[in-house]
Amino acid sequence: MTWREYHELTKHSVESLKRSPHFLDWANMPDPFRHYEGVPVLDLPADPPVPETPALAVLDGFSGATSAPDGAAFLSQLLFHSAAISASKRVPSTGDRYALRVNPSSGNLHPTEFHFLTRGLKEWPDGLYHYRPSAHMAEQRALGNLEMKLPRSSAPIVFVLTSIAWREAWKYRDRAYRYCLHDMGHAWQALALAAQAIGCDSFALGHFPDDEVSQFCRLHEDEWPMIVVELRGGSIPLREPHACETVWYGEHANQISSERTAYPLIDGIHDATKLGNRPWRGISAAEPAPSGSGEIKLPSPASSWRAFGEVARMRRSALDFQGGMQSMTLAQLSAILAVTARPFFADFAAVRFVQLYLYIHRVDGLQPGLYRLWPERAGLERIKSGDQRVAAAGLSLGQELAGNACVAFSMIGDLERAARAHGDRGYRYVHFEAGAIGHRLYLAAEALGLGATGIGAFYDQEVHRYLNLTPEQGQVVYHFAIGYPVPDPRLGA
Ligand SMILES: Cc1cc2nc3c(=O)[nH]c(=O)nc-3n(C[C@H](O)[C@H](O)[C@H](O)COP(=O)(O)O)c2cc1C
């Protein structure tokens, strides 16, 4: 299995969807919450303060601050604004409610788990923890000094973000690995931006020996490490470190469903993208991204003073957008695009692999059409003129939200360039980047009073044909839409 085979075999087409209809086995739906049974559980203080720095400023690279006096308060504020439950929805037919989180997830299935290692936090025992979002608590999996042997991993807080692919495969089958990677990109940015909003720097590692990290964290075999995120900074409340022997508390992770359907294609792509079995060597440099400039210069970005904490927790995916006449301003679009161009702090993101194509439906001062963003010069290049609403919705598997939005996006990933630099592992990095860009789009839209939705379902080859892409220009990896959301009556606190 290579990334090319996996990607080719998981492309959507009208024929592929007709060929293999899928019915959801509700009785065997995987539990969206992992628990470690029988381990000590540490309280994270309820209702942590809202990080007040404006969300757009954080997205623009500014750091906020925190008054958290100790480890528990700090971790509570961090996780409450990156991974916690933030709303719920009611199922109209039964009245039951289900949870929504700060980080979005394809189908709300949440394959991503947050584990973290702490060292020297004030009034907080050193050890390895797992975040339990259902109760906003930390499960203490191990106590004491644990040394993860990764370059630069001496930070006081190190997160290991993992994917449980079966949760996603239950609904999306073979294509689910792509969504796990997108979700991972969202989760990484949710964490990195929340950390920055409370005065921390983060650095993400995508290039690590998978099996060593799995063994180090004693992960259940259904759970795979994907990104390691180190946090440092003066705002983390620290004490003098002291030596302490390591004690592990039970390694019994809950079984998330009674049966698990095998998806050999997912196991195959995961194995192909692992570094575990090869001799360790550092990450290599990738060729620079192609650059250019569009004939349309973007104006100064619109501003917003909405606090990061409020924006992060209020962010929701729109089920649909109000079509009609209401448009967004070019300054709003400019602000949204600017945050996608800000650097990512990660070993795999020194150069970028994803380029944005925009289906402009209703943006003041911009004719409807298809455009390409050239971020270095903040310029748009017009590729096609005319109404794109039917095309955007049709290409997004007929989902009307992509036509009713003010602007829809195709993210084009240069998978070949990523593979030249990083081998099959590059497949992960391109999707992480797409998810991370998506997360910034969500937050910027919310800050500006708009709504957004990530769209993982699209007709791959149709998109390539419509955009007139040659294989060297890349392949579609993610869609997105931004506009005025239709209110969702099922939504509650
Ligand atoms: C990678 C990814 C792909 C998604 N694809 C779609 C999609 O194709 N159509 C759609 O309506 N929503 C899509 N969503 C939105 C999710 O359904 C939404 O995030 C989830 O229901 C949780 O809701 P929330 O974002 O409000 O927390 C996607 C989200 C992500 C992160």
Other Cβ atoms less than 10 A from the Cβ of 214: the count is 19
Residue 280 pLDDT level (bands cut at 50, 70, 90): low
How far is it, in rounded angstroms, from Cα 225 to Cα 112? 9
Whole-structure pTM value? 0.98
> Cα(173) to centroid of ligand 1, in Å?
16
Residue 154 pLDDT level (bands cut at 50, 70, 90): confident
How far is it, in rounded angstroms, from Cα 383 to Cα 387? 13
pLDDT, position 92? 87
Residue 278 pLDDT level (bands cut at 50, 70, 90): low
Is the C-beta atom of 32 inside 6 A of ligand 1? no
> Cα(110) to centroid of ligand 1, in Å?
10
CB 339 within 8 A of CB 328: no
Name the nearest CA neighbour of 431 among 250, 258, 183.
183
Average pLDDT (68-83) is: 98
Q: Measuring from atom 29 of ligand 1, which residue has the nearest CA?
A: 106
Residue 293 pLDDT level (bands cut at 50, 70, 90): confident
Give the nearest ligand 1 atom to 396 CA: 8
Q: Which residues contact 166 (CB under 8 A, 6 or more apart)?
A: 30, 222, 256, 257, 260, 261, 263
> Cα(123) to centroid of ligand 1, in Å?
38
CB 136 within 8 A of CB 44: yes
Give the nearest ligand 1 atom to 86 CA: 27
Q: Is the pLDDT of residue 417 over 70?
A: yes
